[in-house]
Amino acid sequence: MTTAQRDRVHFFLLNVGHFLDHLFTLVIATVAVTSLRSEWGLSYDQVLSYAMPGFFAFGVFALPAGWLADKWSREGMIAVFFIGIGLASILTALAQSPLQIGLALFVVGVFAAIYHPVGLAIVTERWKNTGMRLAVNGVWGNLGVGSAALITGYCIDHGGWRAAFAAPGIVSIVFGVIYGAVFWADIKTHSGGNIRPKIAALPTTAEYRAMLWRISVIVFITTAVSSIIFQSTTFALPKVFDERLRGLASSATGLGQLAFMVFAVASVGQLIVGFFLDRVGPRSVFMSVAVVQTIFFALMPGLIDGPALLCALAFMLAAFGQIPINDYMISRMAQGEFRARIYGLRYVVSFSVLAATLPLIKFVYATWGFDMLFRILAVAAALILVVVSQLPARLPQPQMLPAAT
């Protein structure tokens, strides 16, 4: 296998990992709507309570995963991710009580936390055209989000909710074995000491440090607020469709197909954003995405069937489109040897907010319904617009030093 072929296979497997990572974390969202209510008498908001520990683990363990990857092996950690999350998902399928499901989902969250800090560090450091690479990788993650509803709905209709956890778990283990083989072959091929290129140190003037702090604050504020939007839309959408699209679909499979269609089409937003990130920079792109979100979240309350579907497609296009922007900015600012840890810190913030958003969804839905949730999301998108307006027009561009030999 040539170096170019190995790189293509490596990128493909990293993309599959992103797909599976998001699929595993959202299987429970569809199971909550369609199965556990009838089998164990659990309401939607009760299932959310058992899902929360997994999402907290998804966030909290991102930083140690990045640290371990920097200290040990990024590729090795990806192999651990594939196999570990597959086994944890199979463990969830064997649960005999809601408590056991909650514990198993916690383990799923621990292994799910590995992918983003480690996989994105590999993607942004190993290849050029960072914006488009992140966008393509993000599309795979989005397809995992959409496929969670589609695959889970199909498995529930044809094999029960346990199959929705077990089948993807087996697939992930298989890909983990494949990735491990590619990893060891790659190590053997590059055993001559081919070290990743280093980033030249940027000038540490007072002006630069002030700009770096400003960008860092913007990244972490928008990460937190964007995570509220992403979690609210992706986790709640199956339930929103269950309530509002009954004129378009009546079965779990049908609702899953509609959710998948929205998520798949919305994934194009990342490709558009990735294209423009490499050409005009993040400020203009981020502000445009925030404007679209604000408008369509504000329009969503009260809509049903066709209009609700079109509005959901529009705000999901923007919600998915914003995903690679902060990762792009980190890739431009972070030193390579610390990149996985910085991504880990970013995803500790992101996924901790994701977990904290579940009680928000639960409370808002139980008290006012989804119309109020969409109004809250419109305000959140408007806040992102205000914060992003403070970004500099261009980020500093570090120069690459030659790789060590």
Distance CA 111, CA 92 (A): 13
Res 387 pLDDT > 90: yes
Residue of 125, 171, 147, 164 whose CA lies nearest to 34: 164
pLDDT at 337: 56
Alpha carbon distance 180, 147 (integer Å):
25
Q: Residue holding tokens 């309350």? A: 301
Give me the count of residues in the chain. 405
Q: Quick check: 195 pLDDT over 60?
A: no
HSE (CB half, 13 Å, CA atoms) of 136? 15
Please give the residue that has the higher pLDDT: either 88 or 156: 88
Neighbours of 358 (CB within 10 A): 22
Average pLDDT over residues 74-87: 93
Type and span of the H or E element at 273: helix 268-280
Q: What pLDDT is stored for residue 83 in this prediction?
A: 96
What's the rounded Cα separation, in Å, for the pair 6 and 183?
10
Question: Helices (DSSP H) in 35-160: which residue ranges?
Answer: 36-39, 44-60, 62-71, 74-93, 98-126, 130-159
* Phi, psi dihedrals of residue 249, rounded to the nearest 5°: -155, 145
Average pLDDT, the chain: 82
Low-confidence winner among 19-28, 170-179, 184-193, 255-264 (lowest mean pLDDT):
184-193
From the list 357, 377, 361, 365, the residue with the least C-alpha distance to 311 is: 377
The pLDDT tens digits of the residues spanning 127-162 come to 766 778 888 888 898 788 778 877 888 888 888 888
pLDDT tens string 47-78: 777 888 888 888 789 889 988 887 888 888 99
| Digit-coded pLDDT (tens) for 276-293 | 887 888 899 999 999 999
Residue 211, pLDDT score: 79
Q: In CATH, which superfamily holds the domain spanning 3-388?
A: MFS general substrate transporter like domains (1.20.1250.20)
Residue 245: predicted pLDDT: 86
- What is the DSSP code string of 294-339? HHHHHH-TT--HHHHHHHHHHHHHHHHHTHHHHHHHHHHHS-GGGH
Confidence of residue 37 (pLDDT cuts 50, 70, 90): low
| Domain layout of the chain by residue ranges | 3-388
